[in-house]
Structure 1
Amino acid sequence: MRGTTRTVAVAAMSAVALLAAGCGSGDSDGDQSSAGGGAEGGEITVYGCNPQNPLVPQNTGETCGGDVLDQVFSKLVHYDADTAAPENDQAESIDTDDNQNFTIKIKQGLKFHDGTEIKAKNFVDAWNYAAYAPNGQYNGYFFEPIEGFGDLQCTGDGDDPCAKAGKPKAEEMTGLQVVDDYTFTIKTTEKVSNLPVRLGYSAFAALPDVFFDDPEAFGNKPVGSGPYKLDAWNKEQSIVLSKNADYTGDWPGKVDKITFKIYQDVDPAYNDVLADNLDIVTSIPASALIDDKYKSDLPDRNAQKETGRIDVLDFAPSSVDPNYDSVEVRKAISMAIDRDTIIQQIFNGTRTPATGWVSPVVDGYKADQCGEACTYDAEKAKSTLEAAGGFPGDKITLSYNADGGHKEWTEATCNSIKQALGVDCVAQGVVDFATFRSQIGDRKMKGMFRAGWQMDYPSIENFLAPLYKTGASSNDGDYSNPEFDDLIDQAAAATDEAEANSLYQQAEALLAEDMASIPMWYGKTTMGWSNNVTGVKITAFGTVDYTQVSVQ
């Protein structure tokens, strides 16, 4: 979408109109970025972390792998770096008359990195593979709206629901049909007014035929379709990308090589940027945020932008740790957290206290959805906990990944909880993000744990359905409320923007009633870079716009 504007056709409500009121954002610092105009070519290094899963778009739901895959795979839709507004990329057109039957035509002549042409079947085959439950793809949930998705799910019970007796009824969704080499259709079970907006998320990327020959090998060295190719994934060390000379899309990169250097902590990465041994650090350690130290460390080499991100504290599912089952206990813990002080002392004001579960940058955001439960009140917190019978466990725990710069704020959060409630609270680090996420996904993580959500696509729905709908892929706390699910479905089917937003807001209000998680703060992404690069720009998603970065 950085280029000629092309609309995505949607009946009754255009995708652009859906976003116009809320996606563009800046901040008090003026959304700084470095000047462009650098030379083509050369190579850069970027702060990276360990991906949780093999690098397959349909199986990647976190930023360590997602930041890489966004460069390796193009999608039907591309999101504008500044506003997140969707525009067609690989899609020639996306048309519907009723928001339930969609016809997608893809551009001819597009190729994967192995030289094979991208055709309609590459989308249909990839989506069916992801939706087929025995394949265990992390993002399979995103295909739930398509007709026939339910028949691809396992029906058994116990530890192996996909065993012979519970094998899915079908292997392909009836709602996907290949019309010709460059056209396919989608039929959804119900109306889904924002479906075209979703199609820029990596789960909807096309996969080449070679993927199906050996998915495991593919995950170690994926064959994509984007402006960069993956050359090497040196586990625990680096991920190396090179420019795709055959890329014909509208958003090519300028540099020839991008190396994501994997660090176990953000502090050494920051120090390497100061020494010009690393080119871009995508977050700033707490020590450098104090008194805006990073601004003097990196004069004219830093940027900050409000982005589609929220940080919350999740609770382990009841089956893993029942100590947090009580809604009143959860609310007491939330009221015991002095967000304002933590933001000032640890983040130097680079966060905004969250008053709900939806980021302010998307249309449909409603302030103060969480109410008093997200307002610091030590006395009310303690009396609420006492009325609930006290905390049933020995201590409250808050887990975090130790490679992400979260030690200071999680410890400060625990201190706040401890002082207000009189209950011991311990912040405990897990070695790295991949291990941390695996423990959560395997339902082995007890207590509370940090969770940061960066929007997949610019919609209020993306902050609610994937995180809190029953069985959703990122529903780490196994939250389930049939009324919430029903409101989400009604909102997705609404063709009137105001009606859809109202229904989503009603669903969000239920999260407050149930205290499904604890909203902490909305994100401002802060980055820094070395003297070696120019053109560094933060997107609306809080990522680097690699189309603009160049070597000095």
Structure 2
Amino acid sequence: MSKNTWRKRALAAGAGVAITAIALAGCSGGGSESADPSTGGSNSAIITTNGSEPENPLIPTATNEVGGGKILDAIFAGLVSYEADGATVNDMAEEITVEDPQHLTVKLKEGQTFSDGEEVTSDNFIKAWNYGAQLSNEQLNSYFFEDIEGFSYDADSELTGLVEVDPYTFTIALNKPASDFQTRLGYSAFYPLPDAAFDDMEAFGENPIGNGPYKLASDGAWQHNVQIDLVKNDSYQGVRQAQNGGLTITFYATQDAAYADLLDGAVDVIDAIPPSSMASFESDLGDRAVNQPAAVFQSFTIPERLEHFSGEEGDLRRQAISMAINREEITTTVFQGSRTPASDFTSPVIDGWSDSLEGADVLAYNPDKAKELWAEADAISPWSGTFQIAYNADGGHDVWVDAVSNSIKNTLGIDASGNAYPTFAEARELINGRTITTAYRTGWQADYPGLYNFLAPLYATGGSANTGDYSNPEVDALLQEGIATTDTAEANELYGQAQTILFTDLPAIPLWYSNVTGGYAEGVQNVEFGWNSVPLYHEITKAE
């Protein structure tokens, strides 16, 4: 997930149209056939693309942001993987049998190996998941294992729900029903690890050995704050066979620099268009432009620990700030229609999404009501100081943050502005450490295609991306009841009820849904963007 956005998976760009099912046809250049030199494509060419410096070492359970997630998804393979439309397909798994919502049996394909030659077995999954779940290992994705029997937030404990039957078969027992658990298994937290990882995990994170379609080109292939070089992993036998020779992911300081390189032919494909080029990129690139819905949601969070934002006063001020934002105007003028004003906390491309939930009017621009609510909050405790929204300057967010801040400032008559940090990593360090003293940019790029994934990690008590430390027992209960039922319609109804409470509490201020906006260079073929806004790199080819 994203691969919170700040997350796994950080923000790409929102839904330009509203659809009610997981259905992204993708944008394709030159068709989807395999690489064929006769058509100008090459299965040995290195594909260059944009990225960002990973926040943490490249360990699957330690990465929950898009820079690192993009790399991990290229060099590792899980039990299942996701097709362009979000459908799951077996990858390392030969078969996954769901006996009931609490019990699964996994049968692995035999003969699969890591890039160092070690065979992928049941033990590689069990050890990796146990490592990720251990409290003392402080893994950001430990949350993903909480439904497995034996998990504890209080002490190191073995995941007793994982039992090896034989080298290629293991069972999963959950401590409570989780009807979408099989769908989750394509997320990076569930990747296996080779034995070498446990010899020195810190060193492994700098030079990981995976089992996916790509591998690091060599020792030192990760040049920090510059780029990472990957080559095709010939030992990979899964469903994502690379149709090119490798990837070079450049860590651009700005989206403008990446787009300039695309226009110059110095980069093959990018998955983010800077705001400064949003009005012109489709005419610049023609049929090489990409603008399609993706499972991406943008917001900002105001921690309850900040002065004036706790209790009843905090609820009133959050609602006032939300109603002071002219989302329609900002998405039209700043984003040229490549964003859609949010009407909930999820995404229109996910099955079960609704634009008519009770309480959603708090997301509508209503300056008079905003002023009224702000005055009610002032009666509790007069406002003092400034209101700022922190963001990372290397992500192309300055224009919209300024627009949102100005809308708040002009409506409420307070001093409001953006607060830029040079890099994503610098901002995240303060956010994760709970030392940031302002509101801050947040959002979500889904880990797997499901409403629960947009809600539980961010708003359940102790959720992996709940950096604002929001906690509401009613929300927790509704989310748990929803994930326990095998009736999809019933689950989605319960998730809607949870969102009704979120509209009152506003642990995050929803802004808009993002399209993925990107493009590719001349001579590049077979470009398709997935449901989660990330290109299917293994399919891309280009002329030599």
TM-score above 0.5: yes
Q: Which residue of 1 aligns with 2:348?
A: 360
Contact 2:24 2:530 in 1 (8 A): no
2:402 aligns to what SS in structure 1?
helix
Q: Which residue of 2 aligns with 1:375?
A: 364
1:322 aligns with 2:307: yes
Mapping of residues 84-483 of structure 1, within 5 Å:
84-150=86-152, 153-154=153-154, 168=155, 170-231=156-217, 232-290=221-279, 293-318=280-305, 321-325=306-310, 326-369=314-357, 370-389=359-378, 392-483=383-474
Q: Which residue of 2 aligns with 1:61?
A: 64
User: Mean Cα displacement is larger for which, 360-369 or 139-148?
Assistant: 360-369
Q: Which residue of 1 aligns with 2:16?
A: none
1:24 aligns with 2:18: no
Q: Which residue of 1 aligns with 2:10?
A: none
1:389 aligns to what SS in structure 2?
helix
**Cα distance in 1, alignment partners of residues 203 and 392 from structure 2:** 27
**Letter paired with 2:213:** P
- What TM-score does the superposition give when structure 1 sets the normalisation length? 0.90
Give per-residue Cα distances to partners, 1:427-450, cap 9 Å, x unaligned: 011111111212111112222111
**Letter paired with 1:322:** E
Give per-residue Cα distances to partners, 1:365-403, cap 9 Å, x unaligned: 121435221000111111110111176341110011100
Identity over aligned residues, as a percent? 42
- What TM-score does the superposition give when structure 2 sets the normalisation length? 0.91
Shift of residue 452 of structure 1? 2.6
Contact 2:459 2:471 in 1 (8 A): yes
1:44 aligns to what SS in structure 2?
strand
Q: Which residue of 2 aligns with 1:158?
A: none
Q: 1:236 to 1:131 in 2, by over 3 A?
A: same
**Cα distance in 1, alignment partners of residues 244 and 374 from structure 2:** 55
Where does structure 2 lack aligned partners over 5 or more consecutive residues? Answer: 1-18, 36-40
**Cα distance in 2, alignment partners of residues 281 and 98 from structure 1:** 41
Give per-residue Cα distances to partners, 1:44-99, cap 9 Å, x unaligned: 21111111111111111010110111110011011111x10112111111112221
1:39 aligns with 2:39: no
Q: Which residue of 1 aligns with 2:511?
A: 520
**Letter paired with 2:401:** T
**Cα distance in 1, alignment partners of residues 351 and 507 from structure 2:** 22
Mapping of residues 492-503 of structure 1, within 5 Å:
492-503=483-494
Shift of residue 198 of structure 1? 0.5
User: Mean Cα displacement is larger for which, 493-502 or 226-235?
Assistant: 493-502
Give per-residue Cα distances to partners, 1:155-193, cap 9 Å, x unaligned: xxxxxxxxxxxxx2x531111111110111111111111
Aligned-residue CA RMSD (Å): 1.4
**Cα distance in 1, alignment partners of residues 90 and 185 from structure 2:** 9
Q: 1:317 to 1:388 in 2, by over 3 A?
A: closer
Where does structure 1 lack aligned partners over 5 or more consecutive residues? Answer: 1-19, 155-167
Contact 2:352 2:492 in 1 (8 A): yes
**Cα distance in 2, alignment partners of residues 137 and 345 from structure 1:** 40
**Cα distance in 2, alignment partners of residues 393 and 467 from structure 1:** 29
2:172 aligns to what SS in structure 1?
strand
Contact 1:317 1:476 in 2 (8 A): no
**Cα distance in 1, alignment partners of residues 258 and 317 from structure 2:** 38
**Cα distance in 1, alignment partners of residues 429 and 408 from structure 2:** 27
1:324 aligns to what SS in structure 2?
coil
Q: Which residue of 2 aligns with 1:163?
A: none
**Cα distance in 2, alignment partners of residues 512 and 323 from structure 1:** 19
**Letter paired with 2:323:** M
Shift of residue 317 of structure 1? 4.2
Contact 1:400 1:427 in 2 (8 A): yes
**Cα distance in 2, alignment partners of residues 73 and 315 from structure 1:** 35
Give per-residue Cα distances to partners, 1:100-148, cap 9 Å, x unaligned: 1111111111101110000101111111111111100010011011111
The number of residue pairs the alignment matches comes to 508
**Cα distance in 2, alignment partners of residues 64 and 393 from structure 1:** 37
Shift of residue 274 of structure 1? 0.7
**Letter paired with 1:268:** A
Give per-residue Cα distances to partners, 1:400-427, cap 9 Å, x unaligned: 1100100000001100000000011010
Q: Which has the higher contact order (CA 8 A, sep 6+)?
A: 2
1:77 aligns with 2:75: no
Q: 1:21 to 1:404 in 2, by over 3 A?
A: closer
**Letter paired with 1:34:** G
**Cα distance in 2, alignment partners of residues 411 and 53 from structure 1:** 29
Contact 1:324 1:447 in 2 (8 A): no
Give per-residue Cα distances to partners, 1:485-544, cap 9 Å, x unaligned: 111111111121111111111112111121111110011001012224222211111001
User: Mean Cα displacement is larger for which, 232-241 or 523-532?
Assistant: 523-532
Contact 1:33 1:302 in 2 (8 A): no
Q: 1:144 to 1:348 in 2, by over 3 A?
A: same
Shift of residue 21 of structure 1? 6.3
